[in-house]
Amino acid sequence: MRTIQDMAAALDTGATTARALVETSLARIADPGGEGRRAFLKVDADRARAVADAMDALRRAGRAPGPYAGIPTAFKDLTDLAGEPTPAGSVVLADAAPAKRDAPVAARMFAAGFVGLGRTNMVEFAFGGVGLNPHHGTPASPWDRATAPRVPGGSSSGTAVAVADGMVPVGLGTDTGGSCRIPAACCNIVGWKPTARRVPLTGILPLSASLDSVGPLANTVADCAIVDAIYAGETPRLPEPANLSGLRIGLPQRMVLDGMDTTVAKALERAYAALAIAGARLTEIALDELDEVPAINARGGITMPEAYHWHRKLLAERGDRYDPRVRARLVAGETMPAADYLDALAARADLIARTDRLTAEFDVLALPTLPIVPPTIAEASASDDDYRRINLLMLRNSNWVNMLDRCAIALPCGEPGGPPVSLMLVGHRMQDARLFAIAAAVEELVSGREEPAARRTLLA
């Protein structure tokens, strides 16, 4: 596996160049047998080459902006990039006015010297956990792709597939109810959701102002930590793996385990056994409070009215151009009484306070990111009822993390060559650095990934 750190070291020693890294990425995106045309909605090859050449020249002159200068990256299609419209995976905004400036998260990556290759596919307006996009096509998960294409997870579908297929080592995702972690789980990579307030949302087309967050998807915990720090305007530091001996891990039961398939159950059992052998103290906890999240969302919750508020004029003018499944969820926010929305906000605040007290004794919570392996694209799109059922199931284990305003990370834990399975670790609010340290240690125990041949070849 080639990580950001590997690439930075190779650039530093002259073993590679920014231009070579970019050409490798562009070749992977253009591979006619790959998923590049569905993973990326726009590729700016000429600009990427020009920026890479500039970074190489700066490095030769001893003036590179940092150790990561020249490393390719990508941005989810809801990110403002100066001079370009921000369509957010939709055709509704394809002719929108171009952004006047880069979103701060993008500007910070460019200032660090990363080379933007383009815009990645996503669920239209980030409203869904499955990953389907009827406008631009759905990129398939790397697993079982040749025989039964599987959903990539949403809404950051294109970013996840781009990282998993070696098109870029890291890319931007957003997470309102699991949209970094779910695609990471489906594509067998690492997905990070920060404490939302740490990373600016300016220049990111919103879904829910109360629940949105911006995080990276990458191959390793360390890569996520590096880019998360850049997004947040902090100094990147590699996480020092925590000592797992005596670590207090809470294992939520009940709802998060309902309907779990045998593949996920076995992988979870292996992961927990490895943690116990390492000296971690695992304690099952009911955490019945999570059952309240569906009730808060039952009448529209927080996301639907906030999303409708942003989309109401577009829906009136161009509602027929939306993905019908996305439009149906957006218009549901139109009739929600303001009192119900305020009740949902109050219920959220109360739930945060109570669960903070209940989980204070634990360093981290652990549970499956998804209770199932990725279903096929055909299964998820067979009917509206099938879509709704699968979408709710794929969001179930992750959306409460946003409701509780916490940080979380999805880590691969399946068997090499087998279906992707993911372990989610949930930290306390604003303890992101601590969660990265714990995740770095857990990653060493549970990750049994086998690199796809294409990624091994193109990133060797």
Type and span of the H or E element at 350 = helix 338-358
Query: What is the full DSSP assignment across 131-157?
Result: ---TTT--PPPSTTTTTS-B---SSSH
Phi/psi of residue 136, nearest 5 degrees: -120, 0
Give yes or no: 25 in active site.
Answer: no
Q: Say which of 156, 157, 179, 210 is annotated catalytic.
A: 179
Residue 263 CA, chain-centre distance (Å), reads 22
Phi/psi of residue 409, nearest 5 degrees: -145, 140
Give yes or no: 179 in active site.
Answer: yes
Sign of CA dihedral 257, 258, 260, 265: positive
Give yes or no: 100 in active site.
Answer: no
Q: Is 137 left (phi over 0), alpha (psi -120 to 50) or beta?
A: left
Alpha carbon separation from 135 to 77, 87, 310 (Å, rounded): 13, 11, 21
CA distance 183 to 217: 9
Q: Which residues pair with 191 in a beta bridge?
A: 217, 410
Q: Say which of 155, 208, 210, 213 is annotated catalytic.
A: 155
Query: What is the full DSSP assignment across 185-198?
Result: HHHTSEEEE--GGG
Sign of CA dihedral 168, 169, 172, 174: positive
Catalytic residue numbers read 76, 155, 179
